[in-house]
Amino acid sequence: MKRLLYILAICAIALSGCAKKSSRIDELKEKYDKFVALTFDDGPSTLTPRILDILEKYDATATFFVIGGQVDATTEPTIRRAVELGCEIGSHSFAHPYMSKLSKQEQLEQSEQTIAAIEQYAPTPKYFRPPYMDADEVTHSVVPQIFIGGYCPSDWDANVGVEERIKGLLGNVEDGLIFILHDFKDNNGTAEALEVVIPALQKQGYGLVSVGELFEIKKLLTSIQPSVTSSITAKSFIKIESGLNPE
């Protein structure tokens, strides 16, 4: 009897979680008729909490593609807060190398070490973005996540000012787009741009969501599991052309 009650309790908790997620999606669809996903590469860093403050302020979410080597006890609070706010944590490799220049074993280590680091503080990552958008067939064979690309307004370049970043985002937005941004240390121009871009897009009817939320809303990749094969992963490498490859 105790075992039965325990199982029922677990089921209730699971169903509650699903209902909460579905409720969030339903609320978004009632409020907005267009959606874009915000993603951030190269964190977590001292800038990430500021990004989270902005997201929380505007009730937006995002997917953070983190560098595994930067995921530790010092950044644990930031990662846990991101998850609590409904954001996702994805993989961006362990040391930010050009993946295609590594051996198969080295690529595997980049993937596995990052997954292990993330799992200390967040759910197992479902998505991967290769540094510099550099990947080969070996990368697709050893990385178990779905590969995610997107449009980048070159916000990694210190020579690209805040106004240019704003124009790059607002001028290229379209329903279903994935934006690639960067939350590495001192990239304050991106935070400043977001303070303008997020409310402007929301006024235009855009909901700012994570990759997973975007896929759920658009009913994409619903049949693909995190442990996809290399052939399926390759087909799922969503990349929208931008002038320069993001870092």
Catalytic positions, written as ranges: 41, 182
Q: Which residues contact 161 (CB under 8 A, 6 or more apart)?
A: 189
Phi and psi (nearest 5°) for 11? Answer: -60, -40
CA triplet 75, 71, 107: central angle to 5 degrees?
Answer: 165
| Euclidean distance between CA atoms 142 and 130, whole angstroms | 12
Tokens (6 digits) for 244: 């320069």
Cβ–Cβ < 8 Å for 50, 80: no
Phi-psi region of 144 (alpha: psi -120 to 50; beta: other; left: phi over 0): alpha
Phi and psi (nearest 5°) for 195? Answer: -65, -25
Q: Fill in the DSSP letter of residue 148.
A: B
| Euclidean distance between CA atoms 220 and 1, whole angstroms | 41
CA distances from 241 to 29, 34, 62, 206 (A): 27, 21, 20, 21
Q: Which residues contact 241 (CB under 8 A, 6 or more apart)?
A: 151
Cβ–Cβ < 8 Å for 70, 114: no
